[in-house]
Structures are given as C-alpha cells and as structure tokens.
Amino acid sequence: MLFHARFGNPDLVIWTFATHYYMVGVPRDDIITRLRNMELDPADVALWGCTPPYKLYPNPRETAVIWRALLKFMDDEGLMEKLYGKLLQYADPSRRTEPELHPGLPLFQPPPAWATAVDESAFTPFVRSMGTAFGNERGALVVKEMGNVGLTPTIYQLTELAMLYSRSGDVERTFYILNQVESQRDQDSAIRVDQVFYVAIARGFLISNQLQAALAVERRMIRRYGFKAGKSRLLDELYEDIRTASQGRKVPHRDVWTSQSCITRNTDPSLRPAVTQNLNLWMQVSFTHRVTRKPCRKKVRSRYGVRRQSWLSVSD
C-alpha cells in the first residue's frame, strides 16, 4: 500500500487493502463504493494481483494510509467534511457506531469488531486538506479536535499546520508554532522535531515571499543541526533557493516530500527499516515484471517509470 501511495495510485491502495485486510478502522461504506466504481488498469492487476490465503487485521498505521487514499477522491468540500466527521467518529470511543452501508451493496465478511481506534497519523492529511479548503484556522481546528478525542498531536500534524501558515505568509502564527515545538523539544517531550520541520516552514515562507522569515528559520535550523553541503539534497536545495531569493531571482518549484528520507520520516520509527526495505524490493519486482510480462511492459513503464507526483507533495 505504501508503494502504491508513493506513486500516487489511491485506487490501488484501496484495492490492496480490501484484498488483504478486514474492514476494520476504516469507513466500509466509502471503501465498498469506491471498489464498485474504480476502473483498474489490467497491467496493474496482472502485476500486483494475488489472492492471499487469509486476511489480516490492520493496525492504525495501516488504516491511516486508507484514510489518506479516500481523501484523494473528496473533490467536494461537503464530501471532505463528511469523511472527516467519520474519522472523528472512529477516533472517539464514545461516538463509534456501526457505519451505514449504501443500499444494494454487498457485505464483506464482517470482522470481530465493526470499529477500531485510529491514531494520530490518520489526521495528518486532513490538516492540510481542511486548511487549504476552508482556511488556515480550519487546519488548526483539526489539531485541536485531536486533543478532544484523546490524541496528542505529533510533529507530523504540527509540520502540516506550520506549513499552512508559512505558505500564506502568516509569520506570527508560524513562529508561535515553531517556538512551542522547540520548547517541547528542549523539555524532552514526545514531540521529536527534525530538520524536515524547519525545511517545510522555510519552503512555505519562500512561496509566500517572506524572505527574512525564511532566513530566520534557516539560521535556527543551522544553529541546532549545523550544515554540511552534500549531506542532504533537501538541505542543499533549500540553502540554494534562499540564496537565489536573496539575489532577487525566481526560486524554482521544489517538491519537499519526494526523497526517500522524507517518506520514511513520515512513518512510525519502528516501521522505517521495513518501509525502506519493502520499497526497494517492490521496485525490483516491478522492473522484473517489465521484462517477463511483455503485454504489460508499456503500461507498467508509463505508470511506474515516469509518473513521479507524490502523495506527500506540498503542492497537493
């Protein structure tokens, strides 16, 4: 699922989940509706299709990938609000009820429990999407509502919120979040700030033409972590773009989230080695199938060899 999500294929994410997992911790009615409406490429089915001997029960990290995939299809603000309401329902133990199914849709084999808890990671894409659709304060409300259902915001949700403010040029609120996160880090709290947090904020300030604010964020990041050219493409590009903006020249578009280090950064620390290993393995499998399955070669190459838009793109 992570591989399909990385290459921007939410339908394949949902299809893989429905094939291998019980419908636990996700809105079953939305998934079933999507399964009935999706049109999968035969090359994808030939390459990735398999029938597992038994189904698994997903953990909250795996269901979070499904909430993100479903959000991709919510092109209407009302649908987005409705999906977010379901997420709050699954996150709040006092509000969990059996989800309603659309008339005429067949039931999957019911799991032992109709609902299960979701964790903080499921809220991450909603901070950006709700903030972009309804304004920055709506993204902040998502973070607040996490606390209302007993979840503590992590660096991932705070990064998205800070990036919302920095992209819109709201220097005061951005630095308020930055100061709060840094103070929590100094107190050795559960929030683990990293360089991606600073890069995302500085990149947002470059987008909103707040050069002095971007320089201030860069100085604070270098003071904490130092800077060595060539060690990180993400840092090298930011340093280069800030120098470009300082000279009055146009800053090129950058996708902050395309590097593999950022993919694993947005994954539970205990899963990071497995994610990296599986990504490499799946890439090897895809190249093998390009050679051995000639009828699928052109389709697979066009989908996995050229398409590079990431599901974690800042421009989403």
Question: Could you give the C-alpha distances from 185 to 123, 142, 157, 178, 189, in angstroms and in order?
Answer: 22, 22, 15, 11, 6
The answer for residues whose C-beta is within 8 angstroms of residue 1's C-beta and 6 or more apart is 13, 16, 17, 62, 65, 66
DSSP state of 95: G
Question: Which two tokens mark 93?
Answer: 């133990």
Termini Cα distance of the chain: 19
* CB environment 221-259: b (16+ within 10 A), e (fewer): beeeeeeeeeebebbebbbebbeebeeeeebeebbbbbb
Q: Block means of pLDDT (10 residues each) for the chain, length 316 residues?
A: 84 88 87 84 61 79 92 91 93 64 48 63 95 94 93 93 96 95 71 88 94 95 88 89 90 59 42 42 36 34 33 30
* C-beta of residue 224 within 8 angstroms of C-beta of residue 186: no
**What per-residue confidence (pLDDT) applies to 80?**
95
Provide the sign of the torsion angle of the four alpha carbons 227, 229, 234, 240, taken in this order: positive
* C-beta of residue 203 within 8 angstroms of C-beta of residue 221: no
Provide the sign of the torsion angle of the four alpha carbons 34, 39, 43, 45, taken in this order: positive
User: Where do we find the tokens 């299960």?
Assistant: 116
Q: What is the DSSP string of the chain?
A: -HHHHHTT-HHHHHHHHHHHB-S-SS-HHHHHHHHHH----HHHHHHH----SS-BPPPHHHHHHHHHHHHTT--SHHHHHHHHHHHHHHH-GGG--PPP--TTPPPPPPPS-S-----GGGGHHHHHHHHHHH-HHHHHHHHHHHHHTT----HHHHHHHHHHHHHTT-HHHHHHHHHHHHHHHHTT-S----HHHHHHHHHHHHHTT-HHHHHHHHHHHHHHH---TTS-HHHHHHHHHHHHHHTTPPPPP--TT-SHHHHHHTS-GGGHHHHHHHHHHHHHHHHHHHHH-GGGHHHHHIIIII----TT-TT-
The amino acid at residue 44 is D
**What per-residue confidence (pLDDT) applies to 208?**
94
* C-beta of residue 144 within 8 angstroms of C-beta of residue 108: no
User: Where do we find the tokens 């994410």?
Assistant: 13
d(CA 87, CA 162): 22
Structural domain boundaries of the chain? 1-101+114-120+279-311, 154-267
